[in-house]
Amino acid sequence: MRALSFTGSTEVGRQLIRQAADTVKCTSMELGGNAPFIVCDDVDIEAAVDGAIAAKFQTSGQDCIAANRIYVQRPLYDDFVERFAERMKALHVGNGFDESNTIGPLIHEDAVAKAQELIDDARANGARIIGRDQSEAPGPQFFMPTIAADFTAAMRVAEEEAFAPVVPITVFDTDDEVIAAANNTVYGLASYIYTHRDARIRLFLRNLEFGMVGVNTMKLTGPHVPFGGVKQSGLGREGAHIGIEEYLETKYYCFGSLPAD
């Protein structure tokens, strides 16, 4: 085997890269994420809530590009949290084969336990917990969508990929402040920004340390997309013509003079 392609956790990816180093194998890694979702004060709040709901709850939150941290500029913050919470509480939780349900089960009960640990840690460190009681969950592998409002960088929800319908939301004041907060992670897969100002968009695109940036949209995937991240979110890209290059080697030919026929 001359190359290794892996999609999974950063922890396992690190181990595979170590093993591949012994034989200098080419590695393509699509690993974990900690996607920030940034809402600026110049956007339509309902459109931002729609985008955040979709970005957070795709695959019940079990998605490497799911919004993992939501940052909202102060003038919109309280209204955003209220509207998001109202929409979130209306989501149907249950069997994924029932099309009336929006939130399905987590992969196993350990994932439910981790989600609860993240919420418990946030609560213990001062976050406002908003959501339906976990006693309403339809089974042991379900976690009721829950907001950890006013989260801080000291909480586990700021650092760890939840892979669950856990929603940390906090406030920011300046663009530089939220860029620094968004980049304060070992991960760099996906990020999202909602703003209508061209100069602000260019500022975020230049400075966000993520392989993919969605501007006023959460639709980042598709066969045409060079899917992948930076930092400890992986190496290389999947999809598009760039993804094919992960499986090719450049070979150079140099000819001197050739004998005449």
Catalytic residues: 30, 64
User: Could you write out the three-class secondary structure of 211-237?
Assistant: CEEEECCCCCCCCCCCECCCHHHEECC
At how many degrees (to 10) do helices 45-57 and 74-89 cross? 50
Q: Are strands 190-194 and 212-215 parallel, antiparallel or unpaired?
A: parallel
**Secondary structure class of 44 (helix, strand, coil):** coil
How many H-runs (helices) and E-runs (strands) does the chain carry? 8, 10
**Secondary structure class of 24 (helix, strand, coil):** coil
